[in-house]
Structures are given as structure tokens and as C-alpha cells.
Structure 1
Amino acid sequence: MASGQASGAATVLRLVLGKRLQDLREAAGISFEEAARALDVTHATIRRMEKAQVGLKVPYVEKLLRIFGVTEQREIDAFLGLVREANQPGWWHRYRDVLPEWFTAFVSLEAEADQIRAYEPHYVPGLLQTEAYAATVLRAGMPHAPAAEIDRLVALRLARQELLTREKPPLLWVVMDETVLRRPIGRPDVMRAQISRLIEATASPRVRLQVMPFSAGPHPAMYGPFHLFRFPLPELSDVACAESLVGAAYFDQRDDVSGFREALDRMCAQAAPVHRTEAILSAIGKEI
């Protein structure tokens, strides 16, 4: 995945395989142009394969592996097996009727990360939303969508939350603006239930919630929400995702990602400490 706009529905495994192909090519001292000539494609195609911007074709990959000096058949077969796996649709494919292409990449990154950090200035993070809260937020954002589409999107959001209850869940560390908790979303009972859900989440050792109070004043991330994903795979660098009204931009270049990480670190220092979050939530819940 290149810095900038999302490059299609790139899965994490495709990103890993693309990086491995790049490493093999560079170790063999083969240029983009030389690899492209061997496949009778453009050098841009090789670049897109390495950046996971296109699907990986098994015959192409097999030929590249041999060109790059991989001669052991077991290694080739193992690599091609991963290619076939990478080309299989993820669990979220069953929601393709309502899932925007840019968000497919997000769900894949979310599912494979072992650490998810985020700043949320407007809403409770999707991974922690109740069904009623999610439905209310989605209806507000998509006022012209039919009820059936909203229902499907709510189902997708709840399905995403299953990663927090799997055997090895990621660390979810979120800084929420106080506005998130003060803005009424739906009826009072919807907000009370959502606050209760957040209080429950604070009991998990894999969930850290911090509240950025109004009194903290300006902070480095007042431009909008973003996520930062970290993976257990050495081939993958951290990936940042900044959301907008009509999509998202993804960044994996070191300098870009460092900017997001520094902003989060500064906010974590400014926000109320994790051990105070439950008390803050309880106090706000009593006011609703």
C-alpha cells in the first residue's frame, strides 16, 4: 500500500507477499524493467504487484520467483500457496453489497493488526459501539440510504467487533474527545447503554480508553479522526489511516506515520490517564 489514497482492496497478506517479492527482486539485483520484460508486462505492473495494488497471478509469481533465484520447489509451492490464500475473499466479502472499496482495506488492516491506536473526535469507535448507537450514527451519516442497507452496515460493524473477543485480540488504544461523550446520539437510553458498554470495555486488559477533556485546550490532532495499525509481521511497517467524508487516505511512509504516532503520544500525555476513564464515564453517564 503506497502513501496516499487507498489502493483498492489490498489485504494484509497481499501486502506481505508484495514486500517479499520486492526483497527477492532487489536481492537478485533485478530492475523493474527486467522483471517486466520477463513477464511481458509493463514495469508499472511489477510496481503495483509489490505494493499490493493489484491481485497476484499465480503464473506471474511463479515465474518471478524463478527469475529471482528461488530454485527450491518446496519454497516455490509454499509461496504460491500463500498467493492463492491472499486471493481468497476475507470474511467481510459477504458484506460487499454495502462495503465501500476504500473501507475494505481498513477492515483487512484492522483484522490483522496486533495494535490499533486511534483518535476519535466525533463518535465512539466502531469496535466499541452498541447496536443502537451504530444504527443511529449510520442513519445520520447516510440519511437517504434504505433501512435494509443501514441494517447490513450495522451487522458489518458488529461482526468487526468479534476480533476483540478472539483468542489473541489486538491492543485497542483510543483517545476520545470529550465531545464524543457529550454529544447526544439518539435517545438518552441509547447514550446510557453506550456509556455502559465503554465502562465494560475498560475492564479488558486489551482495551485502553482515554478521554481528552475540553479543559486540555488545543492538541496536535484537531484536524480529524485517524487510526494507526501495527502488525506482528516484520515485512509490514505501521499504517496510518485518516478518514474523510467520502473515503480515507492510507500512509505507510516512515515520516508520515511518525507524524501520526507523535500526535497520539502527545495526546495520550494530555488526556486523562487510563485509570481515570471509568470514573469519567460513570460521571457523564449519570448526567444523561
Structure 2
Amino acid sequence: MVLGKRLRQLREQAGVSFEEAARVIEVTPLTVRRMEKAEVGLRIPYVKELLRTYGVAAAEIDDFVAMAREANKPGWWYSYRDVLPEWFKAYVSLESEASVIRLYEPHYIPGLLQTPEYATALMRVGFPNESKEDIARRVDLRLRRQDLLSKPDAPVMWAILDETVLRRPVGGAEVMRAQIDHLIESLDLPKVRIQVMRFSVGAHPGAYGPFHHFRFGFSELPDIVYTENLAGSVYYDRPEDVVTYLEVLDRMSVQAEPVARTRDILGELRKEL
């Protein structure tokens, strides 16, 4: 995405239109648009020819090409492509590169904080016709994603969980006790923050459904908001859309219980199980 945006900037600076760029590499203008929007891979011969057309110096072309080759390499999740929905691949990629992940979850524990047993129970409900082997693969993918939180450069993860999430019995009492124990342990991670939105708050601005906000360490990459439904997902990167979700997260973080109260709340809920 960063390289695509940079290609667009270089094209515009050179005063080259989509049609002119397309003629240089003998493709349609739509292909050039899709390259700039990161909707297709960056073919190295195309990249080199476009950069020459835009008047980019040879040394900068070499650096750009090296980054393009790196960007074209499959992510670690490529080996799970058999159980990874097409619409969710972008999410895993964004999650892996984010410096800040803020989210609201009204239904279930976020994937990055789930125990294997909790994740398995959810997968059995979500994919009732799949084999045990495929369910195990999906759970393994989810657990691999969790490695992100223990890395030295782990992103800040700030989650607001509806109280429903903690009271909905997924997998039975024993699974829920272990899951809440895991959440309590997760609070010891330096970059994990969890808040609980109590029932007593009543209606609040995030009650429409779950959403996740990503911020990155690249100035070229805009903030992105992710939402999902039964049929797929939507990614928002227009500033006006992202700001709407950020304002909601900010208001909700004030309405929810303070982070300092989370450990006590989780402990109280565990006693009830």
C-alpha cells in the first residue's frame, strides 16, 4: 500500500496520466490504478519502466525495486490460505504491520486474546460442517496471530469489550474461566489495554457492531478501519470515515470502566462462573 501510494505520487509529480502510464507498460489504465491502490501485486518489470518514465534516478529505482520484491513475498499466513477467507487476508496483513490497534467488540473476545479452547468453540459454531482438521487449522492460524503481542515491537492494543462478551458462555464454564484468566494475564503485557463497557452504561455510540482501527508507523499509510459481517468485510481509509470511528472510540473509552478497574472486574466475573 505504501509503495502503491508512492507510485501515484511520482506519477502525479511527473505529470503523467493513467492512460500515458498504461501505454508505457502496455496495460489498461485500470491496471495502473489497481497497482497504485495495492489491489494487485507490483510486477517488477512494470515498476522499473514506470519509474524510468517518471524520471526517477537510477539509485532510487534500485531501492524501490528492492522494496517491491520484499512486498511481493507471501506473508507468514500464506501457508494457511486454505482456511483463510479472501476478505480476511488484508486484515491479517494490516494487523501484522500496525503500530496501534484499537477496537470495540460487542460479541466475542478479540482473536488476539482468545485461548485455544475458546477459539475452538467459536470455530465449531461458525464452521459447523468443517472437519476437525480444518477447525484445528483455523485455530492454529488464530494462535499464530497472537505472537504479535509478545514481539519487542508489538503494537499497542486497546480493546473495549462489551460486558456481554464476558458473560456469553462460549464452550462452557471451564472454558470461560480459563479465558478470563488469560485476559487477566494479558493485562501484564506492556502494550495491552482492556476496558469493559458495563450494561449500566445503556445505549452508547458503538452499539452498531464490532470495528477495529489500525494506525501504522508509515506516514504514507493512512489509518484504516475494519468492519465485518456474515458475508465479508469493509475497509475504510477515507479520513472522514476514519474520524467518525475514532470519535466513537474516544467517547466510548470515557464511558467504559477505566483500564485500572479491568483486573478487578474480570476477577469478579470469574467468581460468578
TM-score normalised according to structure 2 size: 0.98
Q: Partner residue of 2:34? A: 48
Per-residue deviation, 1:259: 1.0
CA distance in 1 between partners of 2:249 and 2:104 (Å): 7
Offset, 1:204: 1.9
Q: 1:1-288, aligned counterparts within 5 Å?
A: 15-71=1-57, 73-288=58-273
Q: Distance in 2 between matches of 1:202 and 1:115?
A: 16
CA–CA distance in 2 between the matches of 1:251 and 1:20?
A: 20
CA distance in 2, matches of 1:205, 1:214: 28
Q: CA deviation at 1:223?
A: 1.3
Secondary structure (helix, strand or coil) at the match of 2:136 reads helix
Moved over 2 A (4+): none
Structure 2: unaligned runs, 5 residues or longer: none
When the two chains are superposed, the root-mean-square deviation of aligned CA atoms in Å is 0.8
What CA distance in whole angstroms lies between the structure 2 residues aligned with 1:284 and 1:160? 27
CA offset digits 1:75-108 (Å, max 9, x no partner): 1111111111111100000101111111110000
Distance 1:60 1:158 in 2: 37
Q: Could you report, residue by residue, the CA deviation over 1:82-137 in whole angstroms, capped at 9, with x for unpaired residues?
A: 11111110000010111111111000000000000000000000000000000001
Matched residue SS, 1:114: strand
Q: Displacement of 1:74 after TM fit? A: 2.1
Percent identity, please: 58
Question: Which amino acid in 2 is paired with 1:246?
Answer: A
Q: Which amino acid in the other structure matches residue 40 of structure 1?
A: E
Counterpart of 2:83, as a letter, is V
Q: Which amino acid is the alignment partner of residue 27 of structure 1?
A: Q
What's the CA shift string for 1:22-49, capped at 9, x where partnerless?
1111111111111112122111111100
The amino acid of 1:198's aligned partner reads L
Structure 2 CA distance, aligned partners of 1:42 and 1:90? 28
In structure 1, distance between residues paired with 2:207 and 2:83: 30
Instruction: List runs of 5+ in structure 1 lacking aligned partners.
Output: 1-14
Q: Please give the alpha-carbon distance, in whole angstroms, between the structure 2 residues aligned to 1:206 and 1:145.
A: 35
Whichever residue aligns with residue 46 of structure 1, its letter is V
